[in-house]
Amino acid sequence: MNKLNPKKLAGETAAKYVKDGMVVGLGTGSTVYYTLVKLGDMIQNEGLSIKGVTTSSFTTALAKELGIPLVDIDNVDKIDITIDGADEIDKNYNGIKGGGGALFFEKIVAKASNKVIWVVDSSKMVKTLGGFPLPVEVLPFGYSHVKSAIESKGITAELRKKDGRNVVTDSGNYILDLYVKEIHSIEELNEFLNNLTGVLEHGLFIEIVDTIVIATEETTQIIHTELNNK
């Protein structure tokens, strides 16, 4: 059997859920990249008519390059479907997102969507979240005090840097990466971070995803979480 690129397989499979006339949330990451490429092809060669809402400047640039029409999130009443990646997904279908730094916009778009699809390769499926560092987007003003407050809970927090400089998100903020190893009380950590002044958003995505497309080198698995809480 010929081995396939799992990310490409997952991304292209998710594109099949997109139908004519939809407003589509366009995620950020190496797997959803293939979804965007497929959607661009469907628009150019199959006459698909959609409008995209992007979650990052990178996705905006790519969508324009691929000929995907875009619309501002504040100019639509709803987003029909959002397709995005994830850094980890646990047995209860909660996820960690934000490895690419777009967690704030990704969560806003997800919360405004009727349906959320995550596309991942099988390595992203874990029993317990925490192996992947948990991103927390914070205001630059006073970020060191937010960092100290987090570390007072026994959590290692590191300011994300690239080439020796602080990483700045599309919304002009910093990212703290939390090294937890295993998150055994997701709700407790979620509440702590939500109530911490200076935190704009964090990468715990709880009870948000409706469908997960998981790919290996041979096949795809579709999981419907049957969430009805949005």
In the chain, which segments carry CATH 3.40.50.1360?
6-126+206-224
**CATH class belonging to 134-202:** alpha beta
In the block, tokens 């990646």 appear at 85
Tens digit of pLDDT for each residue in 66-95?
999 999 999 999 999 999 999 999 999 999
Taking a C-beta distance cutoff of 8 angstroms, is the pair 215, 1 a contact?
Answer: no
What is the rounded distance in angstroms from the CA atom of residue 149 to the CA atom of residue 168? 21
What is the rounded distance in angstroms from the CA atom of residue 117 to the CA atom of residue 51? 17
SS3 76: coil
Among the listed residues 12, 88, 106, 137, the single catalytic one is 106
- Classify strands 220-224 and 211-215 as parallel, antiparallel or unpaired: antiparallel
In the chain, which segments carry CATH 3.30.70.260?
134-202
Can 106 be counted among the known catalytic residues?
Answer: yes
In the block, tokens 């992947």 appear at 132
Query: Residue length, the chain?
Result: 230
SS3 195: coil
Tens digit of pLDDT for each residue in 142-184?
999 999 999 999 999 999 999 999 999 999 999 999 999 999 9
pLDDT, mean of residues 13-23: 97
Q: What are the backbone angles phi and psi of residue 118, rounded to the nearest 5°?
A: -105, 140
* pTM attached to this predicted model: 0.93
From residue 32, give the alpha-carbon distance in Å to each of 8, 177, 186, 229: 8, 22, 26, 24
Fold of domain 6-126+206-224: Rossmann fold (3.40.50)
* 230: confidence class by pLDDT, cuts 50, 70, 90: very low
